[in-house]
């Protein structure tokens, strides 16, 4: 048995995050101190936005009216799939009640958070799908108030298709804001919003750091890094299909790793031969981003067996995992560390990124070893309750008092023993 690297990633440079942390800390402190004035200042300085922060109902309607009907239909199609999958997830959330011992009743309830802040990334791409994924899922979970923000473009604001998606999904408040200032505005409930109980959605390193710093004060979906994807392929796979699936994910950005784990050398070498031409066929700046990601972050790994392929994949714990190989049920049964799994040549990560239903806000940088992606569960608190009658209280009090004194916690013991009094 052997594992051979036909292409390795360049050593990742030591990244100094101190500057990002310092900048974000200063911005959050200024916004906490100065509120909306500071947010407006950052919006103008960083994004060139001097217009209104809150998108009015009239502005929402005007933006929606400008979206072509065909694109509206496509967005509605995607939103319907995302909603249906989220509703199926919600159906798995259960409440229970049990008599733990005679006279002691305990139970579990599912309670949605009251407010959520959804960040929709902008910049080079208009991430319509991120609006669908975050806001729809929060709505299905039963969140009462949903704020949404997205980076503006000078003199335009949030791109119309994103506004349409936010409105379609039921955002209660839309703010023309991106970056740290957008995150802070939702966390604090500025501009007529409600302070967010949880902040969700992908963003750049400054957005990720702002969420990290605010975690504890508010909940967050996850600590996110650059998106990553891994393809497992055997001799039955098409080199052209595998190559395009890798290139399409490298398109995300220069720091987005893509990995091929192959059990067939001919297939692996054919993919290596195809990638450069496919990247060159992309428009700019997509091609430049994909080229850097492929040259510096991509790896091609040859395995002697599918068992070795599983070991490699589980070790990398990719955000997106595609399997283009025989016996798909075997892979489904054995793979255990991934954000979302795409089985068979007929599916692709691009479907999951945009339209197929399961959420595309997923764990990156190996976090799939211990967590899953965004779901209705992230917006829902699983809480417990209990009550007991006098007989159960008597026995619980005796045992609680003895354990408490064994721990040295006299106050607990006396609180329990009060329940022994007539």
Largest Cα span, the chain: 85
Strand partners, 3: 303
Question: Are residues 401 and 378 in contact, defined by beta-carbon separation less than 8 angstroms?
Answer: no
Residue in 15, 16, 353, 20 with CA at minimum distance from that of residue 212? 20
Active site annotation includes 319:
yes
Q: Of the listed 319, 377, 394, 410, which one is catalytic?
A: 319
Q: What is the rounded distance in angstroms from the CA atom of residue 153 to the CA atom of residue 158?
A: 6
63: exposed, middle or buried (Cβ count in 10 Å: 0-12, 13-18, 19+): buried
Residues 6 or more apart in contact with residue 287 via CB below 8 angstroms: 279, 280, 281
**Residue 406: burial class (beta carbons within 10 Å; 0-12, 13-18, 19+):** exposed
325 and 301 Cβ atoms separated by less than 8 Å: no
Q: Does the annotation count 252 as an active-site position?
A: no
DSSP alpha helices (H): ranges in 189-338?
205-214, 239-250, 265-280, 286-297, 306-316, 328-334
Tell me if residue 284 falls in helix, strand or coil. coil
- Residue of 127, 145, 252, 320 with catalytic role: 320
- Sole residue written with tokens 């599912």: 110
Sign of the alpha-carbon torsion through 124, 70, 374, 368: negative
Give CA–CA dist 219/359, Å, rounded: 18
Q: How far is CA 335 from CA 307, 308, 368, in A?
A: 10, 11, 12
Rounded Cα distance, 365 and 225, in Å: 6
Tell me the three state secondary structure of residue 155: coil
Q: Which residues are within 8 A (CB) of 92 and not within 5 positions of it... i.e. 6 or more apart? A: none
Catalytic residues: 319-320
């Amino acid at each position: 048995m052997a594992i051979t690297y036909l292409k390795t990633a360049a050593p990742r440079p030591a990244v100094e995050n101190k500057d990002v942390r310092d900048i974000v800390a200063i911005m959050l402190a200024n916004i906490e101190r100065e509120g909306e004035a500071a947010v407006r200042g950052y919006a103008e300085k960083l994004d060139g936005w001097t217009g209104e922060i809150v998108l009015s109902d009239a502005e929402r309607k005007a933006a929606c009216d400008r979206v072509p009907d065909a694109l509206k239909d496509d967005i509605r199609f995607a939103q319907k799939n995302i909603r249906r999958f989220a509703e199926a997830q919600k159906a798995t959330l259960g409440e229970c009640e049990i008599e733990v011992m005679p006279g002691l009743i305990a139970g579990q309830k599912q309670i949605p958070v009251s407010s959520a802040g959804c960040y929709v990334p902008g910049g080079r791409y208009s991430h319509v799908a991120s609006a669908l994924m975050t806001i729809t899922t929060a709505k299905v979970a039963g969140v009462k108030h949903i704020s949404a923000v997205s980076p503006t473009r000078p003199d335009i604001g949030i791109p119309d298709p994103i506004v349409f998606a936010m409105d379609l999904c039921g955002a209660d408040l839309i703010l023309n804001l991106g970056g740290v200032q957008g995150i802070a505005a939702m966390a604090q409930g500025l501009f007529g919003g409600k302070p967010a109980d949880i902040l969700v959605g992908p963003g750049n390193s400054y957005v990720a750091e702002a969420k990290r710093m605010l975690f504890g004060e508010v909940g967050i979906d996850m600590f996110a890094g650059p998106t990553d994807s891994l393809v497992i392929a055997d001799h039955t796979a098409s080199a052209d299909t595998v190559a395009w699936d890798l290139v399409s994910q490298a398109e995300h950005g220069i720091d987005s790793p893509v990995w091929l784990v192959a059990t067939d050398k001919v297939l692996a070498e054919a993919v290596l031969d195809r990638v450069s031409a496919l990247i060159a066929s992309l428009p700019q700046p997509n091609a430049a981003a994909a080229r850097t990601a492929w040259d510096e972050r991509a790896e091609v790994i040859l395995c002697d067996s599918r068992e070795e392929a599983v070991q490699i994949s589980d070790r990398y714990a990719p955000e997106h995992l595609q399997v283009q190989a025989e016996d798909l049920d075997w892979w489904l049964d054995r793979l255990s560390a991934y954000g979302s799994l795409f089985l068979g040549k007929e599916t692709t990560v691009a479907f999951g990124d945009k339209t197929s239903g399961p959420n595309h806000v997923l764990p990156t940088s190996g976090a799939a070893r211990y967590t899953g992606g965004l779901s209705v569960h992230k917006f829902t608190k699983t809480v417990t309750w209990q009550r007991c009658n006098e007989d159960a209280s008597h026995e619980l009090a005796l045992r609680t008092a003895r354990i408490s004194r064994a721990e040295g916690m006299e106050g607990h013991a006396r609180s329990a023993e009060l329940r022994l009094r007539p």
